[in-house]
Amino acid sequence: MSAVKHFISESLKKVEINEFLRNEFERAGYGGVDVTKTPLGTHVVIHAMRPGIVIGRGGETIKRLAEVLEKNFMLPNPQISVAEIEVPELNAFVVASRVASALKRGVHYRRSGYWAINQVMEAGALGVEVIISGKLRTQRARYEKFRAGYLPKSGQPAMKHMKKAELHVQLKPGIFGVKVRIMPPDAEFPDKVRLIEQTQVEEEKEAEPAEVKPKEEEETEEAKEAEETKEVKEAEETEK
């Protein structure tokens, strides 16, 4: 198998695992999965709002899940761990699932979109974008964007820090799509300038250690001490 086909098959496998876990743990507040290969097997980290539902009573659910991943998705020796989502509003999967469930309940798409971006911005995100597409008001499909804050879409910060999620929901008019992009508050930008106050600079100068003498001065002092010891020894020998 060539390298290109290998990476394509691995990416398809990750997408299939993500869809399977999303359908399996929808009640647990599923928030994504990380799959990494290790020398001992495959490490799978499931992010969820309620980890107890994923683990199950006595670990039964997670044991059954390991067997399914090994049998159906050909993951060698899967080691599953569950991570709790501390701030659900900053997780793109959770926000997209909330918008999708609101649309299922019959909430207007604009109300659900604005509610989602307000919740994300109040949680401290730098920027957020929610796109709802489908037959929104007429028989012709279209999409509508809801944006807030600072959200770059290209460049290294967007590739490294941006969190994305996409869900589909079946309604009476047809299938609606929900896309969510979130820029977390801990994202670092190369063009961001940090100003240092003068008091902080003065405190750092005061905290600096005393100046160290150069090596040449230390060597000259050692030479002088050696000469003095020699002279003392010669004087003692002459007195004897």
Q: Distance between terminal CA atoms of the chain?
A: 93
DSSP state of 214: P
39 and 116 together in one domain? no
What percent of the chain has pLDDT above 70?
A: 86
Query: What amino acid occupies position 228?
Result: E
227 domain-assigned: yes
In degrees, to the nearest 5, what angle opens at C-alpha 147 toward C-alphas 144 and 153? 100
Q: What is each CA distance from 179 to 53, 143, 191, 204, in whole angstroms?
A: 26, 10, 27, 47
The Cα–Cα gap between 12 and 18 comes to: 10
- Give yes or no for residue 229 having a pLDDT over 80: no
Tens of pLDDT along 41-86? 888 898 888 888 888 888 888 888 888 888 888 888 888 888 888 8
The confidence band for 99, taking pLDDT boundaries of 50, 70 and 90, is: very high
Residue 234: both structure tokens together: 């010669």
For residue 122, the model assigns a pLDDT of: 92
More confident residue, 208 or 139: 139
121 and 80 together in one domain? no
Domain finish residue from 36, 69, 85: 85
CATH of the domain at 117: 3.30.1140.32
Domain containing 108: what range?
89-183
- Which H or E run contains 211? none
58 and 128 together in one domain? no
For residue 102, the model assigns a pLDDT of: 92
What is the total count of domains within the chain?
A: 3
The Cα–Cα gap between 92 and 97 comes to: 9
The confidence band for 196, taking pLDDT boundaries of 50, 70 and 90, is: confident
> In terms of C-beta distances under 8 Å and separation of at least 24 residues, what long-range contacts does 169-175 make, across chains too?
169/100, 169/103, 169/104, 171/103, 171/104, 171/134, 173/134, 173/135, 173/139, 174/134, 174/135, 174/141, 175/134
Tens of pLDDT along 201-212? 566 666 666 555
Tens of pLDDT along 8-32? 888 888 888 888 888 888 888 888 8
For residue 23, the model assigns a pLDDT of: 84
Round the average pLDDT of the chain to a whole number and report it: 84
59 and 112 together in one domain? no
Q: What is each CA distance from 107 to 91, 104, 117, 168, in whole angstroms?
A: 21, 7, 15, 16
The confidence band for 40, taking pLDDT boundaries of 50, 70 and 90, is: confident
157 and 124 together in one domain? yes
26 domain-assigned: yes
More confident residue, 90 or 200: 90
pLDDT (average), residues 178-185: 93
193 domain-assigned: no
Contacts of 150 (CB under 8 A, 6+ apart): 126, 127, 183
CATH of the domain at 80: 3.30.300.20
Give the range with max mean pLDDT: 26-30, 101-105, 231-235. 101-105
For residue 158, the model assigns a pLDDT of: 86
For residue 78, the model assigns a pLDDT of: 86
The confidence band for 154, taking pLDDT boundaries of 50, 70 and 90, is: confident
What percent of the chain has pLDDT above 90?
A: 22
- Give yes or no for residue 180 having a pLDDT over 90: yes
With beta carbons less than 8 A apart as the criterion, state whether 5 and 61 touch. no
